[in-house]
Chains A and B, each alone.
Chain A
C-alpha cells in the first residue's frame, strides 16, 4: 500500500519543483559577472554592457528580413511630462523601464503585460521649482533589485520580482540645491553608482556610491574641487558654486577596479573673463574636475586618474554626455569618449590621450584640439558683451548630446549622431544665487543661430572609432535626439526627432525599413530575446530641455507634438 501511494507523491513533488524552477528563471540574479558577460538575450545595464557598445549580438532580425518588422506590443507609462527618455533594461524575459516622475515598470518582454509598477511619492513643491525635471533615464539591475533615482535626490531599490521597496536613500539636499537625479544608476561590484545633476546649478556636483544590499552611502566624490589639487584651480570662492556633476552613467572597468565617469560643466556656463581666464572672471582657473573624464577606485571613490577634456569650459560642453566605449585595436586597450563640443576623445585605459577626432563640422569654440595631447588650440574666451559674428558653434545643445552612439564589433564602426547648429550670445556678469534655494546661473542671454553660411542639420555617421575616418553619413533636417542601436543582424536603428524610427544596413547606410511612432524620440533603444524571438524596444515621447527648442526654431510637426506624452513601442518580425 505504501509503495503505491509513494508514486503520486513523487509526481506531485516533481510538479512543484518544475513550478519553482520556472519562477526562479524569472528571479535569476543579475550580478557583475553577468553584466560583464553581456548575455545574448538580455540588456542588463544602461549602455548594454560595461563595454558600452549599445550593441545587440542578436541576428534573427537582419538585413534580409527587417522589412517584416512590425509592432508586437506597446506600453504607455502615463504622466509623461517632458516625454519619455529612458533606456529599457531586460533580464530573463522581463523588461524594466521608467517614465517621468521615476514611474517604474516591470513588463513581460514577450507580451507587454504589466507584472508590477511602482510610483514613488516625490516632493511636488520641489519638482515645481526645477527645470531639468521630472524626466528619468532608466534603472539599474543587480542582486535581485531594480535601482532608480529621483529628481528629489533619492536612490530607491525595488525588489525585482514584486516591485516592493527594499530601501530608499536620500543622497542630495535637493530642497536646497534644486537638483536631483535624472540619469540611470550603474550597478557594479555590490554597489550602485549615480551622479547628480549640476552644471548650470551653483553646487558641487557629487557622484555617489551606495551599498546595493543596504542602501547605505559608501562614498561621495565632489566633481567641483573634490581634492586639494583641484581646489587650487578655482579662484576665490567660486568653488562653492562651481556646478559640475555627473548626470549620465559611466562604466566599470573590472580589470583595473575603476569607475569611469564623465563630469558636467562649471557654473556660470558663460564666463566674462576674456582670454585671461586663469586670473579673471567668474571662476578663475581650470575648474577641476568639471568637463572631465575621471577614473575612481570603485571601493573607495578616490580619484586615480583623469583627463580634463575642456579646461575652464566656457561653453557648456560637458563630458557627462558621452558613453565610454571600451574596445581593443592592435593589441591596445582603448576607451572612446565623445564630448558635447563635438570632438571624440580616444584614451588608453588610464585616460591617457591617444587621439582626438572631430565628429562635427561647425565648431569654432576652439580652432582645434591637439590629437596627441588633447590641448585646446585657439580657444574662444569672451569678455562680457555680445557674440554674433561669427556666432558660437556649436549651439548650447552641443555638437553631441547625451543620446548614446553604438559600436558594432562586427563592422568595427561607431555609429554616432552629430549636430550642426550655432548660437548668438550676450554675456553678462551674474551673481550665483543659493538662498533660499539654488537658482540657474547661465551667464548669458542666447539664441539658436544657423552655422555661418550653412543650414542647421543633424547626421548619423559611421566612423572608425579610433581614427575618426568616415565611412558614410546620413543627414536629417533636425538632429535626432534618440540613442542609436546596432545589431549582429548588420542593422543600425536610429529613432529620429520627427517620430520615425529608421533601420539602415550597418555596412552601407542604405535605409531598409522605417516606422512612424507618432511622436519624436529622445530616449533609449535596446534589443533582447524571449522564447527564441528577437524584439527591438524603443521609447517615444518628446519635450525635454533640448527638444523644447525644436518647435520655436523649426516649426513643422514640432508645433503640434505633445510635450507630456509618450510610449514604449516594441517590434518583432511579423
Chain B
C-alpha cells in the first residue's frame, strides 16, 4: 500500500519526469509487444496456412503444392491436366479440389476454406501463357 504522501509529495518537475518515464515504458512495451507479435507471426507463417482474412497467395500454393502435378504452374499437362483454358466449369473445379480423384489427385477439403478455393478458381481462370 502506497504511503499517502508519496503521491502528494511529488513536485511538478518530478511529475514531468515521472510522466516521461511512463511514456518511455509505454513505448518500450509497445515495441517489445510488437516484436513478440511479429516473431509469433513469423513462426505462425512458417507452420500454418494463411487465415481467411489474410491475403491468400494462390501463386505460392501452386509453387508449393499444385504445381507438382499441374505443370508450369497449371499452364501445361503433366501428372495432372492443364488448368489454363480448362473446359471444366467452376463447380467441377471446386468439387475436384475438395474431394480429389482416387489415385490421381488428393482431396484438399481439409486444407483450404471455400473462400480460398474460390480464389484458386479465379486464379485458374486467369492463367495465361508465360511471356517471352
Contact = CB atoms under 8 A, between A and B. Distances in A.
Main secondary structure of the interface of B (DSSP, over half): loop
B111 interface: yes
Interface string B32-69: 00000000000101111100000000011011110111
B48 A442 contact: no
B111 A439 contact: yes
Interface string B1-40: 0000000000000000000000000000000000000000
B129 interface: no
A440 B103 contact: no
Contacts of A443: 63-64
- Residue among A131, A431, A445, A448 facing the most chain B CB atoms (10 A cut-off): A445
Nearest to B62: A445
Contacts of B100: 128-129
A433 B112 CA distance: 11
Interface in A237-288: 237, 240-241, 268
B46 A241 contact: yes
A522 interface: no
Contacts of B48: 433-435
Given A237-B43, A435-B48, A428 B59 contact: yes
Given A129-B110, A445-B71, A439 B65 contact: yes
A307 interface: no
B125 interface: no
Interface string A429-470: 111111111011111111110000000000000000000000
B76 interface: yes
B60 A431 contact: yes
B60 A430 contact: yes
Nearest to B64: A430
Contact of A432 (B46, B76, B108): B46
Given A428-B60, A437-B110, A442 B76 contact: no
Contact of A435 (B47, B62, B107): B47
Interface in B47-105: 47-49, 59-60, 62-65, 67-69, 71-74, 76-79, 99-100, 102-104
A435 B79 CA distance: 25
Contact of A268 (B64, B99, B106, B110): B64
A552 B78 CA distance: 6
Given A131-B106, A563-B103, 5 more contacts: A82-B103, A435-B49, A437-B110, A442-B67, A552-B77
